[in-house]
Structure 1
Amino acid sequence: MVIITSLFVAACLYAGICGGAPERLTAVALVAAALATFIFGSGAYTGGQIRWAIFAIDATLLLALVLIALRANRIWPLWMSALQLITVAAHVLNMISSNRNPWAYVASITVTSFLMPPVLVYGTYSLQRRRRVQGPQTSWSSFLRRQGFPKRKQ
Structure 2
Amino acid sequence: MGRIGAGIIIFKTVAGFCTSILDQSWSHTLYPVLAVDTTCLGAFVILGLQSDRNWPLWTSGCALAAVAVHLGSISKVGIDPKIYHGLRSLWAFPMQLFMVRGIVLDSRYRRSCEKMAAKLRNWP
TM-score, normalised to structure 1, is 0.68
Q: Distance in 1 between matches of 2:66 and 2:23?
A: 18
* 1:29 is the counterpart of 2:8: yes
Is contact 1:29–1:64 with CA below 8 Å preserved after alignment?
yes
**Which of 98, 113, 116 pairs up with 1:134?**
113
Judge which range, 28-37 or 57-66, deviates more. 28-37
Identity %: 26
Distance 2:57 2:98 in 1: 10
Structure 1 runs, 4 residues or longer, greater than 3 Å off = 43-46
Cα deviation digits, residues 41-64 of structure 1 (max 9, x gap): 216754331211100000000000
Partner of 1:58: 37
1:151 match: none
2:82 to 91, 98, 103: 103
**Partners of 1:98 and 1:107 in 2: CA distance:** 16
Query: Is the deviation greater in 117-126 or in 42-51?
Result: 42-51
Amino acid at match of 2:62: L
CA RMSD of aligned residues (A): 1.8
Higher helix share: 2
Which segments of 5 or more consecutive residues in structure 2 lack a partner in the other structure?
A: 116-124
| Residue 120 of structure 1 pairs with residue 122 of structure 2 | no
**Structure 1: where are the runs of 5+ without partners?**
1-21, 137-154
If you compute each CA radius of gyration, which structure gives the higher value, 1 or 2?
Answer: 2
